[in-house]
Amino acid sequence: MTGTVPASTMTRDAATDAGGVSIEGVTKLYGSAKAVDDLTLDVRPGEFLSLLGPSGCGKTTTLRMIAGFEYPDAGDIRISGRSVLNLPPHRREVNTVFQAYALFPHLTVAENVAYGLQQRRVPKSEQRTRVGEALDMVQLRSFADRKPTQLSGGQQQRIALSRALINRPSVLLLDEPLAALDRQLREEMQLELKLLQARLGTTFVFVTHDQAEALSMSDRIAVMRAGRIEQLDAPAAIYAEPASAYVASFIGQQNFIPGTVHSDGAAVDTALGVLPGRWGGEVVAAGRAAVAAIRPEFIRLEDPLRQGDGVRGTVLGVSHLGETLQVLVDVGLEQKMLVRTPAPAAPVLQPGDDIRCVWDAADVRLFAAEGAPSTATHVINLPAPA
Ligand code: ATP
């Protein structure tokens, strides 16, 4: 798997960069369409980095170029400090786990895991030791003699993982590996994967369109849009300080209230009044289109007769999400306001109740309108009105 490369292609100190992936100004065209557009990204050695974004934003194409299954039209890709553009996939220090487990049905678990070693004619005794170790990594040694059809989906994916890790690649590329699993299993596997990655210290580049998955596992998340990276940061930082309306809408939920920038430049004039807040990303000039964004968990529900800030509305629906209560409120806008509040502290509410939604200006972010979702789609997972 690890190939020897001419010294001339070494551009950095390979020892300190071992396991790092450096993508520099990479573009990939399909016909005239740019699947990846001048993308630059440094994945640190030993890091769990997720590429997150909607379908078609270029995540898989980026991963496939690192793996060597696609060739960039421009730019360079280095793994462990060496340019890999002249190396075929099997000579790069990477391995890939796909959504479809791609196990051979006629081979046992152990034979599936050993396949790569067999191809490279590794001696049988060494194969046995390494297969045992690889199955231990995913706690499935006792399943060695089973066929893939005798395993659950989660177990099959763990086998695919152990097969990909058997050669201890410097970098593991994972393309939506948990997408086919049901929710509970997916959440268990997220934890397992993260623990495994931390234990092995292998660099993981993980492709997903599931923000919860990216938030729960990653050291850093690259939010992609139209072949580019819109924001790259730690999950908590991206959640707290999204750099654009696009990122704000993609990570967590938001109430977007459209309007124009107030004359003081620090608020948005909206149908709910002047909403002061703090700019996220680009600052927009007074009079130009912008949105004020408030996360559902930053809105409190209070007595409608209390005078003061916020906005009065009518409860449309209430849904219980275990610890939290999700409430949809009609505040007289085309879009409804979504509020999430701790269930024990929430007032007893029914559809039709009069209520006041209150928030602190410190929790309001202002964004350029460009990239904000349309009013028809900006609130997701709405509770059905009762
Ligand atoms: P998904 O989550 O749906 O897999 P993605 O973010 O991984 O999406 P890519 O698969 O990288 O996106 O695709 C990026 C763009 O490139 C899309 O517009 C896609 O239609 C296009 N594309 C990808 N592969 C090819 C190909 N082999 N030929 C032509 N166009 C392609």
| Predicted TM-score of the model (pTM) | 0.85
Per-residue model confidence (pLDDT) at position 243: 93
Residue 175 beta carbon below 6 angstroms from any ligand 1 atom: no
Q: How far apart are CA 360 and CA 309, in angstroms?
A: 9
Q: Whose CA is nearest to atom 17 of ligand 1?
A: 56
Per-residue model confidence (pLDDT) at position 86: 94
Question: CA of 183: how far to CAs of 2, 190, 208, 210, 380, in Å?
Answer: 36, 10, 15, 12, 18
Same domain, 254 and 224: no
- Asked if residue 378 is part of any domain, the answer here is no
Question: CA of 330: how far to CAs of 272, 311, 383, in Å?
Answer: 12, 10, 13
Number of structural domains (the chain) is 2
Q: Whose CA is nearest to atom 28 of ligand 1?
A: 30
pLDDT tens-digit readout, 192-215: 889 889 988 999 999 999 998 999
Pocket test for ligand 1, best of 61, 63, 66, 211 (most atoms within 8 A of CB): 61
**pLDDT above 70 for 385:** no
Q: Which of 189, 218, 240 is the last residue of a domain?
A: 240
Per-residue model confidence (pLDDT) at position 16: 56
pLDDT tens-digit readout, 171-193: 999 999 888 778 888 888 888 88
Q: What is the CATH number of the domain that holds 288?
A: 2.40.50.140
Task: Determine which of 154-158, 190-194, 372-376 has the lowest per-residue pLDDT on average.
Answer: 372-376
- Asked if residue 373 is part of any domain, the answer here is no
Pocket test for ligand 1, best of 28, 34, 52, 57 (most atoms within 8 A of CB): 57
Query: What's the pLDDT band for 90 if we cut at 50, 70, 90?
Result: confident
- How far does Cα 110 stand from its chain's mean position? 32
Between the CA of 374 and the centroid of ligand 1 the distance, in Å, is 24
Residue 35 beta carbon below 6 angstroms from any ligand 1 atom: yes
Residue 28 beta carbon below 6 angstroms from any ligand 1 atom: no
Which run of H or of E encompasses 337? strand 337-342
Per-residue model confidence (pLDDT) at position 12: 42
Which run of H or of E encompasses 369? none
Please state the φ and ψ torsions of residue 20, each to the nearest 5 degrees: -85, 150
Same domain, 183 and 264: no
- Asked if residue 12 is part of any domain, the answer here is yes
Longest dimension (CA), the chain: 80
Q: Which domain holds residue 80?
A: 7-240
Residues of the chain by 3-state class (helix, strand, coil), percent to 5: 30, 30, 40
Residue 30 beta carbon below 6 angstroms from any ligand 1 atom: yes
Same domain, 187 and 323: no
Same domain, 171 and 189: yes
Per-residue model confidence (pLDDT) at position 379: 41
- Asked if residue 74 is part of any domain, the answer here is yes
The chain-wide mean pLDDT, for the chain, equals: 87
Query: What's the pLDDT band for 139 if we cut at 50, 70, 90?
Result: confident
Per-residue model confidence (pLDDT) at position 9: 40
- Asked if residue 379 is part of any domain, the answer here is no
Same domain, 209 and 318: no
Task: Determine the 3-state secondary structure of 187 from DSSP.
Answer: helix
